[in-house]
Structure 1
Amino acid sequence: MQKWKKFLATLTAGALCAVALPLAKLELPEVVMNAAAAECTVPVGTGTTTLTYEVQEDDTVEITGCEDTAAGELEIPAEIDGKAVTRIGDMAFNDKEYLTGITVPDSVKTIGDQAFVDCVSATYINLPQEMDSLGEAVFNSCYALEEITIPEGITELSSFVEKDEEGVALYYGSLAFCKALKKVTLPSTLKTIDEYTFSSCPALESIEIPNGVTEIKEGAFKSCESLVSIEIPKSVTNIADWLFNSCTSLESITIPDSVTSIGDGTFVCCSSLKNITIPDSVTSIGEEAFNSCSSLESIAIPEGITSLPARADDSNYSSYYGFLAFCTSLKEVKLPSTLKSIDEAAFYNCSSLESIEIPEGVEQIKQFAFEGCSSLESIEIPEGVEQIKQSAFGMCFNLKEITIPGNVKSIEDDAFVGCESLKSISIPSSVTYIGYCAFSYSGLTDVYYDGTKEQWNAIEIVNNANEYPNNSLLIYATKHFSDGTQATSTGDLDGNGTVDTNDVFEAMLYVAYRGAGMSGNLRAEQITAADIDGDGSVDSTDVYYILYYVALQGAGKKPTWDSVLGR
């Protein structure tokens, strides 16, 4: 049976050319005919093997098979019984793992589908200088093949495709999994390089693509781990999906101005790619196009691009592969004025990014967009944005300044979690919702709110006082209102928005612990809230003031801390 090395097209990088050793010319074989069985015996290595064949209507011969025991170098005969051999049939030499080299005669004009698949020991397959047709996945999984010249006359390197039980397309590239392949010479007549043609050819360092090529299809160079540079001809208009995915040595690439689109995941994991110039002709760039380009230092997205799209992990709806995520060396980004959306995880973990100018036309900054941008110090959000999405700026440890525009209505869960350098923030009165842990583990001490205290108190702030982290940093921060007044959550130790007997109990317990020489039960922000008299410590006097405040409330009074303190 055919031993396929199945390859699933998915998703989450100075040319050295091997010089072929000269091949000894084999003597033409003495053909021994077996007319009934349509077989002939030919030399191979130090012995012989049996080829099967069929005589075609034009009185020429098609080779249809080869004996499995064949070992060594094989020269396919140009004639059998006086008839020219013009075709190598489908799967004729499939899985002939003991053939160490194959020479196809000049008489052959057509090679069928998968003809040499799994010839895993063949270091060379010499083809005629000119041919009419080369079938699908002809050389797939020829592991030892070091170099090959595709004959003139060939217009397409074709892949074989089938679907699995779930209907997912599986591609078998023409030269995919040729692990030793270092040198490929392509014909001037070539028009199409099909899906995954050179996928997983880890020794291929360079390749010259003829100017006449108009299509280079999905994943054609995927996982060519030694490919250092490549030039796309001007006849190409589309850089296909996953084309250079995991080309981990790719340092440079020339994209001509004939290209109008770049597909999904095209440069994913090109970890050696430092710079790339995208021509202005490009009007479409697909999902996670530059994800994990960890050496990329700068990039300019051309005008006309409206989004920086991400790919969602179908198995986990909250996992995204962002447009430039994990570009850990990225320092400079130029975004186009046409941009409308910065999609999920677009700059996730771009830890070297210190600043970025977001165009005024941007309307959406989606979840995780800048999470982990640990060097980002400041950012201005455009007026069109209405939501600060989940963890949009989470773990931006050095973020000191951010401008939230007046149209923002909600600040969602974890929006600024871990922003430990963010000491103050201005929140517009348009905000009606602040999600869970929005400012947890931040450095927040002051909130500047452009509305009144009453408007602030009307905001829905998600908080669980019994669970940490929560929004306690926001609750205990000093609020600065538009009328010049300030408010702190004095006395509200549990962060539930009111001063009650629970707060009295928490303060009493803290004083008891400290009196017994034990560590207290309160966090730093709670201690600040409990220090009613502002003497820098929490003691029985502060407990008295909180108890007095609660008692006045219980009596139907409306106490203030100034009145409790006798000010």
Structure 2
Amino acid sequence: MRLWKKVLSAVTAGALFVGGVGLPGVQNVLESVGTVLSASAKVPLYYDDTYGDLYYSITDNGEIEITGCNEDAVIVEIPSEIDGKPVTRIGECAFSEDCAGLTAIDIPDSVTSIGEGAFENCKKLVKVTIPNSVTSIGPAAFCNCENLTEITIPDSAAYIGEYAFLGTPWFAAKREENPLVIVSGIVIDGTTCTGSVVIPDGVTGIGGFAFADCESITEVTIPDGVTNIRQYAFSGCENLTKITISDSLTSVEIGAFSGCTNLTIYGYTGSYAETYAEENDIPFVSLGNATILDPTLAKGDLDGSDRIDSTDIFYTMYYVANVAVGNPGGLTTEQIAAADVDGSGKVDSTDVFYMMYYVALHGVGKDVSWEEVLAK
């Protein structure tokens, strides 16, 4: 039963009898509400039912989200399904603080997402294996787990939020090993780096707050293959004067370079980096023209179906919408090249328009070419 239902029941019952019992009755009602809140202090704010030591809710699409845990739990095994419904998410703060005695957690391969602060401050947790099914690890997910020395993180984790492992012995050891902490192709920390920093090949993203307030770095080189720089990644890097960005970059989130007052971006003419620099009044130096890929997929045919239809339009719109809010676009390099139907070097609403126009004309029997469409 949801906590708010208990409180609402107590308040409603009291309200019905206030007229008959007077102020002392009101006081009793308030005391009863306090009792409900006190007795439920370790109960999550929302849940639909319980399973062993776990509290859970059912999402709109019929999946299970773990929302809390019995405060006395020590060893917890999360099931892969409950009542035939798959367990796909560990919710925000589900185990944080209240499960202070938790020493071991078994996460099934049905889980795809671990929410913000899910295990924050679980100070007795010593080992965690995150299954290959997980694609998203939220900010501060394991922050301040002061005895967490062993963490297995899959390559499938495309998103790792800021400070996900800060305050753990595992993170401290990683930083000691190399000031540039890279997990699943994502730079999650570089705040102890100094001077000129070269991000190695194989990295695909720069995590949120990864270099925040690092006043010791002066130059950064970002290799080909990096597609996104997340929020506040280099914020407060006052002595950062030069950053070189390849033409693979497709998104930069809010505040990524806030406070970098002496920064100049070096990149390629026609690239996203140039557009970002212009839109944010950051000096830009060209290193030459951006590479225009010769797509292995036909123009506009993102799914390789040998025709251009509503599916291709959907993929393109999904990409544009995600990139606009700083999220990964979800397309491969070849698909991005195919989606850039106007050849501008970036995928945007103009490409969506041309694709819709192309599909509409073919839908009414007009066998027009891309050249004819783009000439309009």
TM-score (norm 1): 0.31
TM-score (norm 2): 0.42
The structure whose residues are more often helix, as a share, is: 2
